[in-house]
């Protein structure tokens, strides 16, 4: 049976998925012996580095009486709460000292933990694993372990440049993500005289296929009006350029473009900060323009412009969303957004039942739209 022709109504639930790695802070913001605040999935965190530079993440609330630990004292190993001086090992959150205890009091302090989260530095970011269910922080919960390593950008040759960009958006994770995968806003939001005008809109056809936990826009020659493509055209002949774009739960968009020995790859994440706020982090690696002193700046300029256009758009959208309207998702341009909601639902269902996740896509298919 063909899909309904009526636009489909959909409500976002703003549900944030635990059990995944999330980007918390840019690595170059986090210095040794300093404490930094971050919020992920409405969980307040204190993040820092030990004497060796190893990053750590603790719940930013003392298990004693909730004092924010980011206000405490940190000697590069232990963090001391500013209220009653309890000390915690920053890597596992274990309590090391309670100064008020007398020598004959036998409280087992090593059973007390400040909630600690697995933490890794990867491609310019400190990543934090938000376990499921997340440690309650207070009390006796031991630190959880991550089942895998934090996601990495694909690097195709050993020498490359790396840069990142961030933007905060006053919308829920779902709006952030479907905005990111939405092909139809390009001609209206991303106009610039040196880039494209809305008149360059034309029909496009792309092949998609299911991949574990997500979907892929199969390798194809990029649209003539896509950003990295225009830059790569300077290096290689148009037909040799291919791009692959993946989306994988909970929030990872990977794009890899290859043109002979040149490549560009990016990992964009939309991170849930709170139910109503998210942040986009774009990290890109590339080996073109490496010899050009301003190559990185040029790329950053192009991407900063795009991200800023998206940010401004979502700021406006947030005004409309205050009143909790329904969403309409239309075929084919909004099909990736529908897949996102279906993947999320399938993931939650699999977790609830313990049965392997049922992928919402039956197989490869082609979508058409104008953009």
Residues in touch with ligand FES (CB under 6 A): 62, 64-65, 67, 81, 83-84, 86
Which partner from the list Fe ion, ligand FES, none does 67 bind, CB cut-off 5 to 8 Å by kind?
ligand FES
- Residue number of the CB closest to Fe ion reads 310
Interface with Fe ion includes 310 (CB under 5 A)? yes
Interface with Fe ion includes 281 (CB under 5 A)? no
Q: In terms of Cα–Cα distance, which of 267, 268, 263, 288 is closest to 278? A: 268
Quote the least distance from Cβ 62 to ligand FES, whole Å.
3
**CA 351 – CA 347 distance, rounded (Å):** 6
Quote the least distance from Cβ 91 to ligand FES, whole Å.
19
Quote the least distance from Cβ 33 to ligand FES, whole Å.
20
The torsion region of residue 66 among left (phi > 0), alpha (psi -120 to 50) and beta comes to left
In the numeric block, the tokens 């003392």 are attached to 62
CB of 247 closer than 8 Å to CB of 234: no
**CA 351 – CA 357 distance, rounded (Å):** 8
Which partner from the list ligand FES, Fe ion, none does 368 bind, CB cut-off 5 to 8 Å by kind?
none
Contacts of 336 (CB under 8 A, 6+ apart): 178, 181, 182, 183, 208, 215, 247, 367
Quote the least distance from Cβ 185 to Fe ion, whole Å.
6
Interface with Fe ion includes 255 (CB under 5 A)? no
Cβ neighbour number for residue 4 with a 10 Å cutoff: 8
With respect to ligand FES, which residue has the nearer C-beta, 55 or 63? 63
Quote the least distance from Cβ 82 to ligand FES, whole Å.
7
Which partner from the list Fe ion, ligand FES, none does 60 bind, CB cut-off 5 to 8 Å by kind?
none
Report how far Cα 283 is from the mean position of its chain's Cα atoms.
Answer: 10
Which partner from the list Fe ion, ligand FES, none does 310 bind, CB cut-off 5 to 8 Å by kind?
Fe ion
Residues forming the site for Fe ion (CB under 5 A): 310
């Amino acid at each position: 049976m063909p899909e309904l022709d009526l636009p489909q109504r959909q409500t976002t639930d703003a549900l944030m998925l635990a059990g995944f790695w999330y980007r918390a802070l840019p690595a170059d913001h986090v210095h040794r012996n300093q404490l930094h605040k971050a919020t992920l999935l409405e969980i307040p965190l204190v993040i820092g580095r030990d004497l060796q530079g190893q990053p750590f993440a603790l719940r930013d609330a003392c298990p004693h009486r909730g004092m924010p630990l980011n206000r405490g004292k940190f000697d590069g190993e232990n963090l001391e709460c500013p209220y009653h001086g309890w000390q915690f090992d920053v890597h596992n959150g274990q309590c090391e000292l309670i100064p008020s205890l007398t020598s004959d009091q036998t409280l087992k302090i090593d059973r007390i933990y400040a909630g600690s989260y697995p933490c890794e530095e990867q491609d310019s970011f400190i990543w934090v694993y938000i376990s499921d269910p997340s440690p309650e922080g207070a009390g006796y919960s031991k630190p959880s372990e991550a089942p895998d390593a934090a996601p990495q950008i694909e690097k195709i040759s050993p020498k490359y440049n790396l840069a990142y960009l961030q933007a905060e958006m006053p919308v829920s994770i779902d709006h952030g993500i479907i905005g990111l995968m939405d092909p139809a806003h390009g001609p209206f939001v991303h106009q610039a005289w040196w880039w494209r005008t809305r008149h360059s809109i034309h029909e496009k056809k792309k092949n998609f296929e299911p991949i574990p936990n997500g979907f892929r826009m199969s390798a194809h020659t990029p649209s003539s009006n896509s950003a990295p493509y225009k830059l790569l055209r300077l290096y290689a002949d148009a037909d040799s350029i291919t791009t692959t774009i993946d989306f994988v739960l909970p929030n990872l968009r990977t794009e890899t473009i290859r043109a002979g020995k040149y490549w560009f790859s990016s990992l964009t994440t939309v991170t849930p900060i709170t139910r109503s706020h998210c942040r986009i982090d774009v990290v890109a690696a590339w080996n073109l323009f490496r010899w050009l002193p301003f190559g990185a700046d040029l790329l950053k300029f192009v991407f900063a412009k795009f991200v800023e256009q998206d940010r401004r758009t979502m700021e406006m959208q947030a005004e409309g969303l205050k009143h909790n309207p329904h969403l309409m998702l239309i075929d084919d341009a909004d099909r990736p957004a529908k897949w996102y909601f279906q993947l999320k639902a399938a993931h939650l269902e699999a977790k609830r039942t313990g049965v392997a996740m049922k992928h919402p896509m039956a197989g490869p298919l082609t979508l058409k739209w104008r953009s």
